[in-house]
A and B are shown apart, each in its own frame.
Chain A
């Protein structure tokens, strides 16, 4: 899941710029933020913290299998 949904976006682009891993893009037509590459989300919440209208919901689970050192 990682970054999960964007509701109430005003299209300011802050989240796009503040995401280190380029997960979010503005839709060229609607000018709204779209979760474009969720598999690269590192669940750091910078986008959410930067959104002026608090539109972003993030889930702690990753959208692709996770590789760790032991399990």
Chain B
């Protein structure tokens, strides 16, 4: 296929999408051309074996949070096992984050209280100040440990992450996709999943589980999160945990030229070794670019001379920035832009000045931006498992979460402190680990009834067993077509969200149970697709419920901040009838138990 043909395809696809619900149909047509037709099963179902492993603390996820969760739980005396669907330090979002925040009382321009207040002000109170403060307090210790492990010496993190893990002989199982959390007698009993390399199901018995599974998205184009589908949240939701923050959005945009090329879009960022940065609180990467694209249409250009749009998301006083500073939403802006830090500096990009001229954006790349680079993902730390306290503990005894998997609202519903996402994952990983290590002293390993085990195995293998059904690739693209348009996911209004919800419910009720896989790679995709569908439903329901606009949640039909009714987060949980339930949790309270 030539490049032109490919462009042509995506143009046509956009046309289809522009008519909203027709988008799904257009994609269906397109789908036939690609390669998701019936494939023979490539694996012999009878060859599946299973392996059972027991441990005190099971850490799921090998990113920044999982690293510290494992190391600190071990150091607190617990027996730890780390499992991840990708490689330690080379999966999830961690490999791509290059700026890490350090709060150093000696040099900081503001006190801890001032810092926390500043974040709250920018976040219009959507942050949980307990977690904001905690991140700042512990950031320096974590960064120093990272430095000792050689983190700042290489652009690739696997080696530095392996150092403390190997020194402690912590067992690591990579390329195992966890699909189930197991609860027995009201508390956590372990987790289960499968290897993507061999026909093997893994049952992990554990006294405590720390979910460090990161965030997720709809396998979007332009942000390297295609391996993350909110698995942790969805697994936890299914066993009764509460999930928060699904109405928030991450506003990263990509380039209209090769939107899917993450590496190219970040212009050399991935090549850098990491660096640290200090206090720098913004109100970034909300819905401004999406709003201006919605009002003015494409191309969303930026830079000097670009138009300001009337209305749009409210930015608190003191955090507004000139439009030309904001732009281009295209990622290259932050390295080429002559003026101050453009969007994306939440990530610490542009923070180390010596790096600013690296990367060399090809000429002409600072052109038009495309939206939805990170579609399906919210502001880091704003979505995920609802904590019942400052330790990342969930409402299910023994189940903890940390980092992007935890809905700590550390930064709030908008990007505030530059580089705090990495620091927050490190800090929260360590804190959850110490709490989990305490907890495991008080409980014993539970046995998992063989009936539960066989039911889980059945569910894991179901997509492989189906003789007919839908391929995960096709269902995913259909879901993308429903969810990703600017006017559904970002610039929200009731009737369109309801329409999209009807589509998602169709996927949930009719397509999710018919996902089909012909090999282990597709088996992983099938489970990920199921998680994306539930995550999409959560996003739509939470967005429908939040009848106001605030931070990265923008409703055309409710454009203002509603201080009277919405000083609250939205928690989602599974009702006793199996339906998705939503509740409010006041900003200054821990969840009702």
Do A and B touch (CB < 8 Å)? yes
From B66-74, B261-269, B389-397, the one touching the partner chain is B261-269
- Closest Cβ–Cβ distance, residue A62 to chain B (whole Å): 4
Assess A65 versus B9: contact at CB under 8 Å? Given A17-B87, A43-B261: yes
Q: Indicate if the CB atoms of B221 and A44 lie closer than 8 Å.
A: no
- B-facing mask of A20-48, CB < 8 A → 1, else 0? 11100000000000001101101111100
Q: Indicate if the CB atoms of A69 and B524 lie closer than 8 Å.
A: no
Q: Complex: how many Å from CA A61 to CA B7? A: 9
Contact of B371 among A42, A60, A70 (CB under 8 A): A70
Q: Complex: how many Å from CA A11 to CA B87? A: 18
Number of B residues, CB within 8 Å of A: 66
Name the prevailing secondary structure of the A interface residues.
loop
A residues in contact with B294, CB < 8 Å: 70
Assess A67 versus B95: contact at CB under 8 Å? Given A17-B174, A39-B35: no
Q: Indicate if the CB atoms of B371 and A68 lie closer than 8 Å.
A: yes
Q: Indicate if the CB atoms of B490 and A69 lie closer than 8 Å.
A: yes
Contact of B486 among A44, A58, A70 (CB under 8 A): A70
Q: Complex: how many Å from CA A37 to CA B17? A: 26
Q: Indicate if the CB atoms of A42 and B224 lie closer than 8 Å.
A: yes
Question: Across the two chains, which residue of chain B brings its CB closest to A50?
Answer: B156
Q: Complex: how many Å from CA A21 to CA B521? A: 9
B215 in contact (CB, < 8 A): no
Total A-B Cβ pairs within 8 A: 146
A53 in contact (CB, < 8 A): no
Q: Indicate if the CB atoms of A71 and B227 lie closer than 8 Å.
A: no
Q: Indicate if the CB atoms of A17 and B90 lie closer than 8 Å.
A: yes
B196 in contact (CB, < 8 A): yes
Q: Indicate if the CB atoms of A69 and B155 lie closer than 8 Å.
A: no
- A-facing mask of B162-197, CB < 8 A → 1, else 0? 000000000000110000000000000000000010
Assess A46 versus B95: contact at CB under 8 Å? Given A37-B521, A67-B477, A69-B489: yes
Contact of B259 among A18, A20, A22, A66 (CB under 8 A): A66
B272-317 interface (Cβ within 8 A of A): 290, 293-294, 297-298, 300
Q: Indicate if the CB atoms of A68 and B372 lie closer than 8 Å.
A: yes
B residues in contact with A70, CB < 8 Å: 14, 293-294, 297-298, 300, 370-372, 485-486
B residues in contact with A64, CB < 8 Å: 34, 473, 477
Q: Complex: how many Å from CA A7 to CA B356? A: 33
Q: Indicate if the CB atoms of B260 and A42 lie closer than 8 Å.
A: yes
A10 in contact (CB, < 8 A): no
Question: Across the two chains, which residue of chain A brings its CB closest to B154?
Answer: A49
Contact of B263 among A20, A36, A45 (CB under 8 A): A45
A-side interface residues toward B, CB under 8 Å? 2, 17-22, 36-37, 39-40, 42-46, 49-50, 58, 60-62, 64-71
15 A/B residue pairs, CB under 8 Å, sorted by A: A17-B90, A20-B227, A22-B227, A37-B521, A42-B224, A43-B263, A46-B270, A60-B260, A60-B261, A67-B480, A67-B484, A70-B371, A70-B372, A71-B298, A71-B370
